[in-house]
């Protein structure tokens, strides 16, 4: 049986931010499978216009999953109902990965105050997460991995995917770095 990784999506989610990691986790040879979770069982529409029927709601989560991935997008001001799921992950030491405005949400709710992290920019976090107090732990990198939380800015889908793969068992670091370099640099140099 494959291990589940949950990707939280809400209306207006940034579909491209989940593309690389979803494809890698769902490969036939992977020991993982991706399942989507949303606030309700209603269809969710991405920024790119994809309509997704969530596999789970926040009230019907499986007892065990390997990671919660929070995808950025335009709906994060309305997603406070996900907070108990985030709290459960932190208490159970289940890794959480957040990209783009999902990091802003984590910053606003104090989850990044005491750990190394990144986001869209320090100024962005200060402006859009007024309760944020973690500025001394902000690192100007595309993606940052701490013990149980991975953060990335909105231009870092590849770096985000690389850090998620490195955090999950079953992905060799050398192969993950090779995968990253291939997609970052392509077949041909411009």
Both tokens of 159, joined, read 């770096």
More confident residue, 190 or 14: 14
24, part of any domain: yes
- pLDDT at residue 190 above 80? no
Amino acid 77: pLDDT = 86
pLDDT higher than 80, residue 2:
yes
Return the percentage of the chain with pLDDT > 70, whole number: 100
50 vs 13: CA distance, rounded Å: 10
pLDDT at 189: 78
Q: Is residue 74 part of a domain?
A: yes
* Tens of pLDDT, residues 39-66: 999 999 999 999 999 999 999 999 999 9
Query: Tens of pLDDT along 86-106?
Result: 999 999 999 999 999 999 999
Distance between CA 162 and CA 13 in Å, rounded? 20
The angle at the Cα of 46, spanning 185 to 78, to the nearest 5 degrees, equals 120
What pLDDT does 170 receive?
Answer: 86
Neighbours of 11 (CB within 10 A): 17
When the pLDDT of each residue in the chain is averaged and rounded to a whole number, the result is 96
Given the residues 100, 129, 149, 152, select the one marked as catalytic: 100
89/66 Cα distance (integer angstroms): 10
d(CA 13, CA 76): 9
Mean pLDDT of 18-29: 96
List the CATH number of the domain containing 155: 3.40.50.880
pLDDT band at 78 (very low <50, low <70, confident <90, very high): confident
Please state the domain count of the chain.
Answer: 1
Q: Which two tokens stand for residue 176?
A: 């993950």
CB 96 within 8 A of CB 168: no
Q: How far apart are CA 80 and CA 96, in angstroms?
A: 16
How does pLDDT run across 129-163, given as a tens digit for each residue? 999 999 999 999 999 999 999 999 999 999 999 99
* 100 part of the active site: yes
**Residues in contact with 42: Cβ distance below 8 Å, sequence separation at least 6, in sequence order:** 54
* Residue 16 included in any domain: yes
pLDDT band for position 17 (50/70/90)? very high
Comparing C-alpha atoms, which of 166, 137, 151 is closest to residue 70?
151
The total of other beta-carbon atoms located within 10 Å of residue 174's CB is 8
Residue 171 lies in a domain: yes
Range(s) of the domain holding residue 151: 3-185
Q: What is the mean pLDDT of residues 119-137?
A: 97
Predicted local distance difference test score (pLDDT) of residue 22? 97
């Amino acid at each position: 049986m494959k291990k589940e990784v949950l990707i939280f999506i809400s209306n207006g989610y940034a579909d491209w931010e989940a593309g690389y990691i979803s494809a890698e986790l769902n490969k036939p040879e992977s020991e993982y499978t991706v399942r989507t979770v949303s606030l309700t069982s209603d269809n969710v529409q991405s920024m790119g216009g994809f309509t997704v029927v969530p596999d789970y709601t926040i009230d019907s989560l499986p007892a065990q999953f390997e990671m919660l991935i929070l995808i950025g997008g335009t709906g994060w001001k309305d997603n406070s109902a996900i907070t108990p799921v985030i709290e459960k992950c932190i208490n159970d030491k289940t890794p959480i990965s957040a990209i783009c405005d999902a990091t802003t949400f984590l910053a606003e709710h104090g989850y990044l105050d005491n750990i190394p992290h990144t986001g869209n920019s320090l100024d962005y976090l200060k402006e859009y997460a007024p309760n944020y107090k973690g500025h001394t732990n902000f690192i100007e990198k595309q993606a940052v991995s701490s013990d149980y939380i991975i953060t990335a800015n909105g231009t870092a889908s590849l770096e985000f995917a690389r850090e998620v793969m490195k955090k999950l068992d079953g992905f060799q670091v050398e192969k993950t770095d090779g995968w990253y370099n291939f997609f970052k640099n392509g077949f041909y140099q411009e």
